[in-house]
Amino acid sequence: MTMTETKPSENLNIVIVGHVDHGKSTLLGRLYADTGSLPDGKLDKVQAICKQQGKEFEYAFLFDAFLEEQEQGITIDTARTFFMWKGRQYIIIDAPGHKEFLKNMISGAARAEAALLLIDALEGVKEQSKKHGYLLSLLGVRQFAVVVNKMDLVGYRQDVFDGIEKEYREFLGQFKAVPAQFIPVSAKLGDNIANRSTTMSWYSGPTVLDTLGAFSKEAARSEQPLRLSVQDVYKFDARRIITGRITAGRLKVGDHLVFSPSNKRANIRTVEAFNIEPQPTEGQAGQSIGVTLDEQIFVERGEIASHQDHLPSVSTAFRANLFWLGKRPLEKGRKYLLRVATKEVDCEVASIHRIIDTMDLAQQQGSSTVNKNQVAELTLRTKAPVAFDLSASFEATGRFVLVDEYDIAGGGIITELVHDDQEFLREEARRRDFAWVKGEVTVEDRAQQYGHRAAVVLITGGRHTGKSFLARKLEGRLVADGRHAYLLDGENLRRGLDADLSEEERGQTTEMARRYGEVARLLTDTGLIVVSTTNPFGLAYREASQAIRTLVHPAPVIAVHMSKTEEEPPPNTDVVLSGPTDFDAATARILDELKRRGVLAQAIGAKPIFQYSI
Amino acid sequence: MQHLRQLEDQSVYILREAYKHFDNLGMLWSMGKDSTVLLWLARKAFFGHVPFPLLHVDTSYKIPAMIEYRDRLAREWRLNLVVGQNKQALAAGMNHTMGRVECCTALKTNGLKQLLENKGYTGVILGVRADEEGTRAKERYFSPRDKHGDWDFRDQPPELWDQYKTTFPPGTHIRIHPLLDWTEINIWEYIKLENIPFIDLYLDKGDGTRYRSLGCAPCTTPIKSTAKTVDDIIEELRHTTVAERSGRAQDEGRGMELLRKDGYM
């Protein structure tokens, strides 16, 4: 018996989904047996176990390797098996159909490039048939065929098959999913699996095996604009290598890259690789690569590199379709960790627009929670700006997961950019940074020379809470420690740079904050640690601090909030000081935060060792 | 070759995720073909460097050529090699005649648990593949283990796209499986493509036998084969219908299921 006809030239991941008991495992067992793909040992082992337990051998048992599962007769987790057919290696993911195990079905389908969806001819279209069909679409599995199984139980009748096809096509049509094929089969008896059925002469379409053969590898994403998600920055030797996966497009040595959301830019100097001769000079979608740049810019994991003419979106909010798998419901207002490609950032659910019932795609309005296994439309708001795409244009940078406590608890696709109030300033920062004229001295040069990185310490709070006093004390302490720090007092701007503003304009925050932010941006470019307060903005400090943040990005902002009594600090506050202040202790806490954020090296006087990769 | 590069890209991505997220990370190396390919992939991912220790759980019953090979590569590739051993069980005379599952549990599972506990590893990279046997077919790329090192295969966390489980409660750890999608043939094709040095126990040296899977000397038997080169092995595997681990005694009956639930690799 031979398993292979030709040398394998590609792998294709296929997931088998459908309602529980509609015959997925049997289909697989049959497919393997009829293509001669079963290792001898495996068949013997399963047959021996069946005999021992006194039950008839079934093809399904081959794929339910755990004995517990065989006793229950359902697949608990996704199992992966392999078989080779006509020069292609298929990785078959058998996903459970029971609704209790939806998270496993989703884990299985998320890995797939194509799917077979099974429907029992006798039972017809069931709840999970619909849910799985909808989720395949949400997960981005666009190639799939519908296999109508157990045709032997309905006397191989064409009208039954046609009825199921009509009903299910209508359902799929509502979200524009189009299956490659509907195939009538009997997995148990082997009709239309590998061999053409002799009992269903009315069907002239392809068998399951033919259909698998007709599935193509994913569309060439390398023809799209470039997306490289920065995974890490390595400095194991003299090379400083930016690594990541190219999720779309291609790049080559000499390309000018823009990193979003930091707006940092540099040219690719080399493409690095181990044991590849000659050294590569380009890369394309799918590859995990490493590049060095012609300039030592500081970029971080989570940024997306692209070419300048096709930038990703940047915002702190987006609208999405999400499925929830968490043990506890998703709640409006709760904090979750958002992961988009390699970016990780805290977020909260700003609003839940509606819950989608996958049975009839009806929409229920006005819920404040999303329960396990539900699908919803919602808006997420992040703590810091994130670079992303709409999933309709870019798959990998247009989808995300939410982490609740320790586990991935949900996932989804981004459907719409939500404009936030910082958009105008962010656009200004982007234009400004792209045109920024640099000298010969780089940020890294300054950091090495000064022994620290640039940052803004921004002290917020109401009147008479000791902000100015703390700011002066901190500046003094930093300079005494040998740091390059500067107290930027708003009063000095008010009478100088802001002298042209009318009394009315000075009463509003917008323009004052913009100018203040641009000055802070210049000072951080000189490598200084800028110590500042929101005094000039009075009680509008929340709005002002957001604007300053946007304009000095990506320099770290260490936000310190002072209040006489307990009160809610502005979002993203790092150090909260409430009640009577011990200024020495407060200064020490801010210094610790500067160390934690990698602004200060750990030991004063020692050669700076930064906590993050440079 | 394209399919091997795709597998490589995925494994490299997983290795880099592991390195980014785990402060105390180790990679299990048994010197077999799979974990040696894994080691090679780490050199790929980190551009010739291996920035974490290689862990070997030494049962003392390994085939001597494996130990020689281990020490040679560790020297040549400047590896940080950490060897663990369940000395207590060995002192008490543990061997396979006391029961295969018992012996594997004591010397491998518990040997590994002791090593992880002593060194406080929170992430352990292993070279298991889904096509090896049934329980491994159900693994996640990032698979949590509880405080006792046990695997709750009934309630595994979701794994979506390229997002893996990288956060975990204190006292637990994560097993990382970058080779999950590779098959036995892929391993040999890749060894050939990259010219990776491997132990010649995998080849027939004239007596018509070779090892297909390497383990402890008493519990691993060679198969009948005349494969003298990597090409011969690939050709042989294309036509075999015998399971890879048929020469591994602990797989008989419910052996692997019981072992892996309790934290066996």
Chain B, 194 to 223: residues with Cβ < 8 Å from chain A are 194
CATH code of the domain covering residue A364: 2.40.30.10
pLDDT, tens digit, 9 for 90 and up, residues B131-181: 777 677 778 899 988 877 778 777 788 888 889 988 888 888 899 999 998
pLDDT, tens digit, 9 for 90 and up, residues A113-155: 899 999 999 999 988 888 889 888 888 888 999 999 999 999 9
Coil, helix or strand at residue A375:
strand
Map out the domains of chain B with their CATH numbers.
2-183+252-261 (3.40.50.620), 184-250 (no CATH)
Residues 6 or more apart whose CB falls under 8 angstroms from that of A514 comprise A425, A428, A547, A551
Residue B28 is predicted with a pLDDT of 94
Query: Could you tell me if B133 lies within 8 Å of chain A, comparing CB atoms?
Result: yes
Query: Could you tell me if B185 lies within 8 Å of chain A, comparing CB atoms?
Result: yes
Q: Model confidence at A42, in pLDDT bands (50, 70, 90)?
A: low
Residue A480 is predicted with a pLDDT of 92
Task: Report the number of distinct structural domains present in chain A.
Answer: 4
DSSP state, residue A452: B
Residue A67 is predicted with a pLDDT of 38
Residue A517: which of A553, A487, A551 has the closest Cα?
Answer: A551
| Domain annotation covers residue A341 | yes
* Residue A516, CB-side half-sphere exposure with 13 Å CA sphere: 34
Distance, CA of A43 to CA of A580 (rounded, Å): 76
Distance, CA of A53 to CA of A45 (rounded, Å): 12
pLDDT, tens digit, 9 for 90 and up, residues B58-102: 888 888 888 999 999 999 999 999 988 888 888 888 888 887 788
Task: Please give the single-letter amino acid code of residue B183.
Answer: T
Q: Kindly report the nearest CA distance between residue A360 and chain B, in angstroms.
A: 25
Of B9, B46, B163, nearest to A339 by CB-CB distance is B163
Lowest mean pLDDT among A38-52, A394-408, B137-151, B186-200: A38-52
Token couple for A498: 């802001």
**Average pLDDT score over chain A:** 85
Chain B residue with minimum CA distance to A76:
B154
Residue A71 is predicted with a pLDDT of 40
Determine which helix (DSSP H) or strand (DSSP E) holds A480, and give its type and residue range: helix A467-480
Does the beta-carbon distance from A9 to B2 stay under 8 Å? yes
Same domain for A540 and A436, yes or no, is: yes
Same domain for A390 and A463, yes or no, is: no
Query: Could you tell me if A102 lies within 8 Å of chain B, comparing CB atoms?
Result: no
pLDDT, tens digit, 9 for 90 and up, residues A371-426: 888 889 899 999 888 999 998 889 899 999 999 988 899 999 998 898 888 888 88
Could you please report the per-residue DSSP string of A483-503? --EEEE-HHHHHTTTTTTS-H
| Domain annotation covers residue A601 | no
Query: Could you tell me if A112 lies within 8 Å of chain B, comparing CB atoms?
Result: no
pTM, to two decimals: 0.80
Distance, CA of A479 to CA of A485 (rounded, Å): 6
Does the beta-carbon distance from A232 to B16 stay under 8 Å? yes
Residue B249 is predicted with a pLDDT of 66
Chain A, 331 to 370: residues with Cβ < 8 Å from chain B are 337, 339, 341
Could you please report the per-residue DSSP string of A66-104? SHHHHHHTS--S-EEEEEEETTEEEEEEE---SGGGHHH
A428: phi then psi, degrees, rounded to nearest 5: -60, -45
Token couple for A364: 């229920």
Q: Kindly report the nearest CA distance between residue B41 and chain A, in angstroms.
A: 9
Residues of chain A with Cβ-Cβ distance to B255 below 8 Å are: none
Same domain for A241 and A290, yes or no, is: yes
Do residues B128 and B184 lie in contact, with contact meaning Cβ atoms separated by under 8 Å?
no
- Full residue range of the structural domain in which residue A252 is found: 221-306
CATH code of the domain covering residue A498: 3.40.50.300
pLDDT, tens digit, 9 for 90 and up, residues A211-261: 999 998 766 688 899 999 999 999 888 899 999 999 999 999 999 999 999
Do residues B166 and B142 lie in contact, with contact meaning Cβ atoms separated by under 8 Å?
yes
pLDDT, tens digit, 9 for 90 and up, residues A95-110: 766 666 777 788 888 8
Domain boundary among A388, A420, A452: A420
| Domain annotation covers residue A248 | yes
Of B5, B7, B241, nearest to A1 by CB-CB distance is B241
Residue B256 scores a pLDDT above 80: no
Residue A35: which of A74, A89, A103, A76 has the closest Cα?
Answer: A89
Does the beta-carbon distance from A66 to B44 stay under 8 Å? no
- Say what the ipTM of the complex is: 0.89
Same domain for A410 and A331, yes or no, is: yes
Residues of chain A with Cβ-Cβ distance to B244 below 8 Å are: 39
